[in-house]
Amino acid sequence: RYWYPDFIGNSGAQRPTTDEMLQAMQSGIRRSLPNGPVGTFLSGGLDSSTITGLASQIAESPLPAFTIGFDATGYDEMSFARTVAEHFGNEHQQYYVTCADVVDSAPYIAANCDEPFGNSSIIPTYFCAKLAASHGCSTMLAGDGGDELFGGNERYAKQRIFEHFGRLPPVLQSLAKRLASQHQDSPITVLRKFSSYVSQASVPLPDRLETYNLLTMIPSDRIFTADFLAAVRPSEPLDMMSSVYDAAGQTDTLNHLLYLD
């Protein structure tokens, strides 16, 4: 570890902070622009849209932008990317990944990773790089980390909602837990959601982040062999998470979560 973030109080000086952030992003983009052909990975989100716009300004001409789409309702952000590219005047190249693309490319992508990579975003990233290379771009700029810097991930807001449960009087918490235990498998959606909320809110942070996942919903002996379970310490992931979470010191829940990420 070469750096540990310090959490300080909000000074309220919004304008200087905004200017400093803009200057830092511009400086980073200038350092990243190569002499050769360069494009941007434009997903349509705030991060990549910001990089696409700033890079085009710094380069003094719009850079080519490349976007990967998905032909699935609720998962395709191509329309946002098109709007951004039109706004900044970028030459916009687009490609829709198919199911066959995923099946065919997965073994190749996995074989070229230095270690197991558990994020499916590597698949559209691969196809976006492939698309850019086919148009002569040897370097791509992408935006990442905005949610982690500014607390934009949905799970941060979720944890704040869960904290409301802990402020209820103990008698109400006990009543809610009894009701929730009776409706875990209810056919009524609102009751199932209520049960899920109470069961998660009843677990303190950071344990809540580790326990609410598929591997804790299914008994370990149904997933792993007895030899494997005997060779590992099942509590190690949670122990490691707790030590990092606590290392943030005396600060609010959001900063603990940001520090953990």
- Burial track 128-163 (b if 16+ CB lie within 10 A, e otherwise): bbebbeeeebeebbbbeebbeeeeeeeebeebeebe
> Average pLDDT, whole number, for the chain?
89
3-state secondary structure of 84: helix
pLDDT for the residue 11: 61
Over residues 10-38, the mean pLDDT reads 83
Residues 6 or more apart in contact with residue 255 via CB below 8 angstroms? 7, 248
First to last CA, the chain: 14
Q: Are residues 83 and 119 in the same domain?
A: yes
8 inside domain: no
pLDDT band (50, 70, 90) for residue 9 = low
- Residues paired with residue 67 on neighbouring β-strands, in sequence order: 94
For residue 84, pLDDT beyond 90: yes
223 inside domain: yes
Domain boundary among 113, 144, 175: 144
pLDDT for the residue 127: 97
For residue 143, pLDDT beyond 80: yes
| pTM of the entire predicted model | 0.75
Tokens of residue 161, six digits: 């909602």
The distance of Cα 80 from the centroid of its chain, to the nearest Å, equals 18
For residue 139, pLDDT beyond 70: yes
d(CA 55, CA 59): 6
> Quick one: which of 202, 41, 215 has its CA closest to 133?
41
pLDDT, tens only, 95-124: 999 999 999 999 999 999 999 888 888 999
pLDDT, tens only, 187-231: 989 999 999 899 889 999 999 988 777 777 788 888 889 999 999
Q: Are residues 84 and 119 in the same domain?
A: yes
Q: Are residues 185 and 255 in the same domain?
A: yes
Tokens of residue 239, six digits: 């122990």
